[in-house]
Amino acid sequence: MKKFYIFVASIFLNRQPNSLKTNKKKIINDPVFGFITIQSELIFDLIEHPYFQRLRRIKQLGLSCIVFPGANHTRFEHAVGAVYLMRSAISVLQLKGVKITRDEAEAVTAAILLHDIGHGPFSHALEHSIVDGISHEEISAMLMEDLNREFNGKLDLAIRIFKNEYPKKFLHQLVASQLDVDRLDYLRRDSFFSGVTEGVIGSDRIIKMLNVRRGELVIEAKGIYSIEKFLISRRLMYWQVYLHKTVLSAEYLLVNVLKRAKELVMRGKRLFATPELEVFLKNRITIDHFLSGQAFQGRSLLSIFASLDDSDLFASIKQWQYEEDPILAYLSGCLINRKLYRIKISKQPFSEASVRTLREKIRLHFGVDETDVDYFLVHDSITNSAYAAGDDQINILFKNGKVSEINEATDINLSSLSQSVRKYFICYPKELDIK
């Protein structure tokens, strides 16, 4: 039986690209775009890789499904959808005479496929609690390097494009800019699954209007109205879906659950957790732990991170409802059973006095120490701007060859869209309303 065991190891631990496969064509049935055909062998192999398959288990919108029950779509679907749009964009540009080689086309497609590979489950919440100070972009870069080694350098060009180190700047812009195919896919997809049909954007039309001037992506003037619409839809999706107040309330509850669990574990308390999650609860992880390749439980931290998914969090938090620490039990129960905190939003900061009163109320009601009040109270602000002119601006190409930034090109005043809007909010358990 030894042979077999080695076989298991070779497939699943080292994760060699499967050399047994013969047919590498794949058609994916996507509810948003219909049939998506994967034509490149490299892209096919990347999709098959466990790093990428993991994205099937990570929801694109994290806890938004708590408000929009249809929003269970995953980062896997989004990445595949972005591949589809990238191919459209490439072929539109090629038809207009923009030179894109076969290798560049494959590389920019690989770059968009992998652009979000470093996302953990509920990454926003994670980054504010147990993997503090480490961004998913850094992890994406590390995972891409790792894959590149495994694929013998076939991702070199993709990585250069991803990092904006490749001369044809427009390729990077297709992957990451204010008008990248990432956004074109996610706005449309998030609208579709959340049921917020107003967020639907004309991705087809925007792509048809793409062009390149002096190495940079531009939009032909006929597309101005579509761009305006795109910016307004993006703004709408932010406030109405991504930063929906109940979603915020849930996300901050999750942050508090994880903070409390980590605090207890650091204090020596033993909690049920999946092994991968445990690593992040037991250790104060910094980016250096990732970079140094230090092993935890015999595996590199990067590999452990690359195994984390939504199920680790929910399987663990569900148990925490029954923990003896009443705070952790309370917070976890609230999240699992959707007893979310009341949230109030305001354009002005909440007065110190009102916050102080609320803290006192909490202290009395729950009988907790002052230092633990923060588990029952979130007081923070969010900020968002639909569009930021500057280095990474949207440029319009006029029929006479002139290129202008969108704000100069349109006759409505978009400048207000680029001002970031700040909103203050405060969350606390609903039962405090009553007293």
- Binder among 14, 23, 29, 348 for its own copies (CB under 8 A): 29
| Shortest distance (Å) from residue 79 CB to its own copies | 10
Q: How many angstroms separate the CA atoms of 311 and 271, rounded?
A: 16
Q: Does 321 participate in binding its own copies (rule CB under 8 A)?
A: yes
Helices (H), 283-351: 287-292, 301-305, 310-320, 326-336
User: Is-contact 43 83, C-beta < 8 A?
Assistant: yes
Piece of 23-31, 102-110, 136-144, 164-172 that binds its own copies (CB under 8 A): 23-31
Burial 248-269 (b: 16+ CB within 10 A, else e): bbbbbbbbbbbbbbbbbbeeee
| Interaction residues for its own copies, span 223-242 (CB under 8 A) | 225-226, 228-229, 232-233, 235-236, 239-240
Q: Does 102 participate in binding its own copies (rule CB under 8 A)?
A: no
Indicate if the alpha-carbon torsion angle 120, 123, 126, 131 is positive or negative.
positive
Q: Enter the tokens of residue 2.
A: 């030894």
| Shortest distance (Å) from residue 316 CB to its own copies | 8
Piece of 76-84, 162-170, 283-291, 353-361 that binds its own copies (CB under 8 A): 76-84
Q: Does 394 participate in binding its own copies (rule CB under 8 A)?
A: no
* Residue 210, SS3 per DSSP: strand
| Shortest distance (Å) from residue 206 CB to its own copies | 9
The residue written with tokens 């049935």 in the block is: 29
Q: Enter the tokens of residue 11.
A: 């497939």
| Interaction residues for its own copies, span 276-315 (CB under 8 A) | 276, 307, 309-315
Site string for its own copies, 137-166 (x = CB under 8 A): ------------------------------
Q: Does 274 participate in binding its own copies (rule CB under 8 A)?
A: yes
Q: Does 403 participate in binding its own copies (rule CB under 8 A)?
A: no
Q: Please say which residue, 221 or 287, places its beta carbon nearer to its own copies.
A: 221
CA angle 38, 13, 133 (to 5 degrees): 80
Q: How many residues bind its own copies (CB under 8 A)?
A: 103
Q: How many angstroms separate the CA atoms of 45 and 131, rounded?
A: 29
| Interaction residues for its own copies, span 344-383 (CB under 8 A) | 347, 365-368
